[in-house]
Structure 1
Amino acid sequence: MTTPTRITTPFTRDNTAADVVEGIDLTGRRVVVTGGASGIGVETARALAAAGAEVTLAVRDVDAGHRTAADITATTGGAALAVARLDLSDLDSVAAFTDAWTGPLHVLINNAGVMATPETRTPRGWELQFATNHLGHFALALGLHDALAQADDARVVSVSSSAHLRSPVVFDDLHFRERPYEPWEAYGQSKTANVLFAVEGTRRWAKDGITVNAVMPGGIRTGLQRHQSKEQMDALLAAASANGTAITWKTTEQGASTSVLLATSPLLKGIGGRYFEDNAEALPHTPPTRTGVAAYALDPDAAATLWEVSADLVAR
């Protein structure tokens, strides 16, 4: 079997979302950004809107969404953004969003997420991080499949994390019903699921002109860390430094760049099922680094199993 050529680009970790989309005209292309009212979602939406895309911010807090839309409009010379409510932990909310969508969708950026939360369960009994970060986005993509299939070169961007290195998907106990709950393991499992979704999503949907890739945006100080106290974050950073894997923070504009690259670059046309970081396809993970992609996150058998399990869960 021929090994696929690794994708590299002229851009690095220091480039911004505006840098990678410069010169690309997105006029007429329709984009959904989940979690587009905070963190890197704002800068992802801003760069895409500035390039001419018709951007919809899919957000839990609609008021925050409208404030963000107004800010982006003011900073991009008048780009108009739509705002729609979406709570990924609530499948009724996901269904309402997908049922309301009409016409083609060229780019879906599954950006929203929660991180290292206290043990919390949805009304269906699902662990919150797996439910929000994976199952909600999985149901969203399924519901928007036909809209994506109507587009030319439709792309789905699945925002993962280097935290996927903390845990594979534990199929025997997805929701921590048997094993003790550990916030970072739960987060890591959900982020591995984001990568596996890209693998199987591309395998199933490439024939429909849809590709899916996963992205590690980098370490960015955003509201994603809101469930961690200062003491917890300090301890995490100290442990990383002691292990020789100190976190180098990015700005939100830099953190959004790889998502925007995957959504827009001609270099990614027809490319899917891969994991990117710092504007290039990641190399295999080599401990003790915090970079690269774990082999279990790209395992096609695990990806196929996750798809079937997830489809069964969201269909109930």
Structure 2
Amino acid sequence: MATRTGITSPFTSRSTAADVIAGIDLTGRRAVVTGAASGIGVETARALAGAGAEVTLAVRDTAAGDRTAKDIRATTGSEGVRVAALDLADPASVRAFTAAWHGPLHILVNNAGVMAAPESRTPQGWELQFATNHLGHFALTIGLHEALAAAGGARVVSVSSSGHLFSPVVFDDLHFTERPYDPWLAYGQSKTANVLFAVEAGRRWATDGITANALMPGGIQTNLGRYMDDASMRLFMTHLQAVLGEGTPLPEMSFKSVEQGAATSVLLAASPLLDGISGRYFEDCNEAPPHQPGTNTGVAPHALDPEAAERLWQVSERLLD
């Protein structure tokens, strides 16, 4: 329901994807979930398939995707689970995926990502986290726009993070060519880009009946954290302290299960509570309030800035041209 404090639901941080999808029938709907061979992507795909959707697991490792698809079929009884190759850091791979798609697409969950990766660049010179987390998903969604528009009421779900609080999109140095590379600032910038993309896609595509929203899934111990060594963790804490403010005690780390981590993605992808809602940022199955000093929750103003959202869209188009 819509209130002055945002969109609310009966679900919480402890709700699971199964809780959120209960009673929803997605028969006849088609969905794509990127990064669906591990982590919350698996549980997102499982929930959608269990509700009757035809689900495509868009993955880099198709062998892992095949194993996941077999598992989802076994647990849901759905035969409508397929696997397709997709490397978001490779524009040619994204083009091949979109060119092979035929017919309408009702749900696109842009879930895949890398976090706090060591400095690395694509052959185009793009910083890897920005290239994977934002540019790849931007190109994918643009390439599938016709399919989304054909669906009528299609939804785009952009998996962001509270890491967006670490950095706005730094348009003057997107790829860390002028400043020292910082894996957490690069991650934060890419996660801000995920929210800004949802803001601008929602605006541009409203007349096509397409809605787009972003979310923070919560802390989940998955393969996403594979670069989290002691040095990375110390740097993370430094940035977190900067967000909280000097003197504010660091919060205790708490984690969700992968089933709980997928809940907000599934809510945005399938719940009737989100009909017609677009350009928002959610956490713990509810629209997030504005970020407040002394906290590491809520959404930063720089992530919802419509001017930054439009500029990012234009810059992204030029990079991919």
Cα distance change of structure 1 residues 136 and 38 upon mapping to structure 2, 3 Å threshold: same
Would the aligned equivalents of 1:52 and 1:79 in 2 still touch at CA under 8 Å? no
Residue equivalent to 1:284: 290
| 1:295 matched to 2:292 | no
Alignment map for 1:121-200 (pairs within 5 Å): 121-200=121-200
Distance in structure 2 (CA, Å) of the matches to 1:154 and 1:5: 25
Secondary structure at the aligned position of 1:84 is classed as: strand
Question: What amino acid sits opposite 1:176 in the alignment?
Answer: F
Distance of 2:108 and 2:79 partners within structure 1 = 18
* Aligned-partner SS, 2:226: helix
The residue identity in structure 1 corresponding to 2:42 is V
Residue 227 of structure 1 and its aligned partner are, at CA, apart by: 1.3
Which residue does the alignment assign to 1:215?
215
Equivalent of 2:276 in 270, 274, 282? 270
Q: Tell me which stretches of 4 or more aligned residues in structure 1 moved more than 4 Å.
A: 234-242
Q: Which residue of 2 is the match for residue 227 of structure 1?
A: 227
The 1:179–1:283 alpha-carbon spacing in structure 2 relative to 1, beyond 3 Å, is same
Cα distance in 1, alignment partners of residues 75 and 234 from structure 2: 35
Taking the TM superposition and a 5 Å limit, the aligned residue runs for 1:65-84 are 65-84=65-84
| Aligned counterpart for 2:319 among listed residues 310, 313, 316 | 313
The two structures have a TM-score, normalised by structure 1, of 0.96
CA positional deviation for 1:234: 7.3
Counterparts of 1:28 and 1:160 in 2: how far apart (Å)? Answer: 28
**1:201 equivalent in alignment to 2:191:** no
Matched, 1:10 2:10: yes
Letter in 1 for 2:265: S
Counterpart of 2:170 in structure 1: which amino acid? V
1:227 partner SS: coil
User: Relative to structure 1, is the Cα distance of residues 235 and 208 closer, same or farther in structure 2, using a 3 angstrom cutoff?
Assistant: closer
Change (3 A) 1:190 1:238: closer
Alignment equivalent of 2:264, drawn from 258, 263, 266:
258
CA distance in 2, matches of 1:150, 1:235: 45
Asked if 2 retains the 8 angstrom alpha-carbon contact of 1:237 and 1:247, the reply is no
- Paired with 1:306 and 1:236, the residues of 2 have a C-alpha distance of 25
The sequence identity of aligned pairs, in percent, is 69
Aligned to 1:48: 48
Matched residue type, 1:204: R
Answer whether contact 1:240 1:246 (CA < 8 A) is retained: no
Q: How many residues align?
A: 313
Deviations, residues 204-262 of structure 1 (Å, cap 9, x unaligned)? 00110101000100000000011122564477569969733222100000000000000
**Structure 1: runs of 5 or more not aligned:** none
Q: Tell me which residue corresponds to 2:244.
A: none
Question: Could you say which residue in structure 2 is the equivalent of 1:111?
Answer: 111
Q: 1:209 to 1:168 in 2, by over 3 A?
A: same
**Equivalents in 1 of 2:180, 2:154: separation in Å?**
40
Q: Give the letter for the 2:113 counterpart.
A: G
Tell me how large the CA RMSD over aligned residues is.
1.7
Query: Which secondary structure does the structure 1 equivalent of 2:169 belong to?
Result: coil
Matches of 2:221 and 2:206, distance apart in 1: 35
Instruction: Provide the rounded CA distance (Å) in 2 between the counterparts of 1:42 and 1:237.
Output: 29
Segments of structure 2 that go 5 or more residues without pairing to the other structure are 242-247
Aligned position for 1:28: 28
Kept in 1, the 8 Å contact 2:127–2:176? The answer is yes
SS of equivalent to 1:88: coil
- Determine if contact 1:163/1:191 at 8 Å carries over to the other structure: yes
Shift in Å, 1:267: 1.1
* TM-aligned CA deviation for residue 87 of structure 1: 0.2
Partner Cα separation in structure 2 for residue 192 and residue 167 of structure 1: 7
Aligned to 1:248: 254
